[in-house]
Chain A
Amino acid sequence: MNKRFFLIAIPVVAALYGLDYFLNEYINEYVVRVIMNCGIACILSMSLNLVNGCAGQFSLGHAGFMAVGAYVAATLTTVFPAGPSFQSHLGVGMAILSGGIAAGLAGYLVGLPSLRLRGDYLAIVTLGFGEIIRIVILNIEAVGGPRGLPGIPRLSSFFWIYVWAAITGLVLFRIIRSSVGRALLSLREDEIAAESMGINTAKYKVQAFVISSFFAGIAGGLFAHYQGFVDPSSFSFNRSVEVVIMVVMGGMGSISGSVIGAIIVTVLPEFLRFLDKFRMVVFPLILIILMLLRPMGLLGHKEIWQLFRFKRSLKKAVA
């Protein structure tokens, strides 16, 4: 923890707080909702990028972890007898954190099969886990089953969503720029070579899953306390696919790319409203064209600022 960190963090937090006030007072509700959805999407895409983009483990079950986070957090604040004591900013924060931890545990369980499976097989298993989580929730009457869970206190504000987005970005970025991140990247590049260089591939795969699903759970909790209502259909396979699209569109392994991908995937449909019912036809078409013309995504493996700075001076890094 250094001085520079606080010099940046304090103004950022203050700015977010100010923006929160500004949005509530002056901006119409529709725009605010899109901005909120962007923030949640950013958390989801950045966190999935750790597993998909960095570690190269293709996961199609992110919505499942989001569901765990959303339902655990919402249960604490809404269904749980002591719920009302959670209905403050601090309480909701604790509930959301609990949701994240629960999702992290779920991620641990899903990470285990990833030790034995590769590529498409893993994709289909994570998809299966995601669906199972959803179906299990469908069958829990205490949280409303298929009808969903209404009456969740709407306490995730712009401020909280974006503070969490910033934390997610910072944590993931620091992980990637460390020996843990390099180990994950080596998994993506060549698992056998990684193992032969002393990387405990199993351990890192599971770690990647846990960290990634923790943040997906946080996103779920924020989502629940922003919407005021959750139901199992919000966490279907399509949601997982949406997040994968964000990651691939931005560029595998690029955190800033994920942010860009999240914003495009969230905002673009709003701009395509004039297409009316063809809107959802054009969207996958854009995805296919992107894959054909720019398969590495918008930023590739790079971060956005690396596109403008060509050579990193190593001498400086050592000194």
Chain B
Amino acid sequence: MNVKWIKWMVLTGLATAVAFTPVPLSAQGRMLQVKGSDTMINLVQILAEEYMAKNSKSPIAVLGGGSGTGVTALINGTCDICDTSRDWKKKELDLAWEKGLQVKMFAVAVDGLSIIVNEKNPLARLTMTQVGAIYRGEVTNWKSVGGTDGAVSLYGRQSNSGTYSFMMEHVMGNKPYAQAMKEMNGNAQIIEGVLADANAIGYVGVGYVVDQSTGKPMKGLKILNVSRDTKAEAFSPLDKAAVDTGKYPIARPLWMAVGGKPKATALGFIAWILSAEGQRIVEREGFYPIGSKYVEMNAQNMK
């Protein structure tokens, strides 16, 4: 323990930062690299495991980091498949196009983005407008939306998250988040926060709110029903029919994208996910299988 030791600490820290400077590594080797959405990581990891158990010849590495991280990696050529829980932004598509990358997208599952509160919260439903106002910081007390007195404690994701962008675009009317929101590292951390905080509100993928061992909503959490507006009926994201028909207002497709000349193994993996077998696993893990609208689009892209 001396001065030099501290200096080296600072130096190595900075060196790590420097290591982030752009070096376009090409995704080489046999290993299939999948990267992106944190909402999808558990699902894709399980899909990869099951796929590998059948096709031992194609090893698959699944990484998280957030949708934005995945898109950047695909554009920079450091991964083969990128997972996103949101649509690609125009800026990103332009950037890919500039690099001569033709991006093909496949909807692999449907997620009912779930608004969660602590079980002690007596509230049962919110409208889209209310959720938006809460996350914009306009509503700061639960009383204003029909709850009991208490300051709203906001939990959200960080800006590299697709769910963060999705909420902003589809729920918050493209307005910025409240500065007081706690920005957590992933879905699991949001759930940890909401479980411990009686005044909390959070948003996570539907696959995260269900306890895998019992198939029921996780203990200590309350999943709010959400309605399109004050007149419409409110639905739960656990209601399969409501998500399928679009009555649950914040359902969204989860995407996988490949670029340029994708490896045959990458397309093979995606095709398997889209098959009846893959979709069964999607459903088992708490998400929803894709509807007919996307099946057609996927088939078109597969050609």
Q: Do A and B bind each other?
A: no
Which residues of B line the A interface, CB within 8 A? Answer: none
